[in-house]
Amino acid sequence: MLPKRKPQRIKSLNKIVGKSGEDYACELLIKEGFKIRERNFSTKLGEIDIIAENSKVLAFVEVKHRKNTKFGLPEEAVNRKKLQKIKKAALFYLNTHKEIKKEIRVLVVSIISSKDKVIKYNIIEVDEIF
C-alpha cells in the first residue's frame, strides 16, 4: 500500500507546475498589453487564475500548463463545468467591482513546456460565455 503522503507530494508538484505556468501566462499577457489586476481570485463559487485588463477589456484568464500532451492539449482540460465555475466567479467579481465598464472576455492560456522551457503556448478566447 502506498504511503498517505504520496498524493500530497504530487498535489504540491502540480501546484508548482501550475504556479510557473501562471507566472509565464502573466508575462505573455503583459507582452500583449494587459495589466495584471489580480491572481488566484477565489470565492466559494470558483477560482480565476488571473484577472487582467487593458484599456478596453477585462479578461478572466484560466491557465492550463502541461509537461507533455500525453493526456491531450492543456486547453482541452477546460470543459463546460470549468467554464461555468469561471463564469460564476467572474460575475461575483463584477458585482463587487461595479466601477468596471469594460468589455468582458474569458481567455485560456495554454502552455506546453519541457525542462523549464516553453515549447508552445496559445492564448484562446472563449466565445459566448457572457
What's the pLDDT score for residue 10?
A: 37
pLDDT tens series, the chain, 130 aa: 444 444 444 344 344 454 589 999 999 999 999 999 999 999 999 999 999 999 999 999 999 999 888 989 999 999 999 999 999 999 999 999 999 999 999 999 999 988 778 889 999 999 877 7
Tell me whether residue 48 is exposed, middle or buried, using C-beta atoms within 10 angstroms of its C-beta: 0 to 12, 13 to 18, 19 or more.
buried
Give the CA-trace dihedral at 22, 23, 24, 26, to 10 degrees.
80
Query: Count of domains in the chain?
Result: 1
User: Domain with 73 in it: what CATH number?
Assistant: 3.40.1350.10
What's the pLDDT score for residue 7?
A: 42
Q: Residue 90: which residues within 8 A CB-CB, separation 6 or more? A: 48, 60, 104, 106, 130
Strands 46-53 and 35-43, by their bridges, are antiparallel
The boundaries of the domain holding residue 112 are 5-126
Classify 68 in phi/psi space as left (phi over 0), alpha (psi -120 to 50) or beta: beta
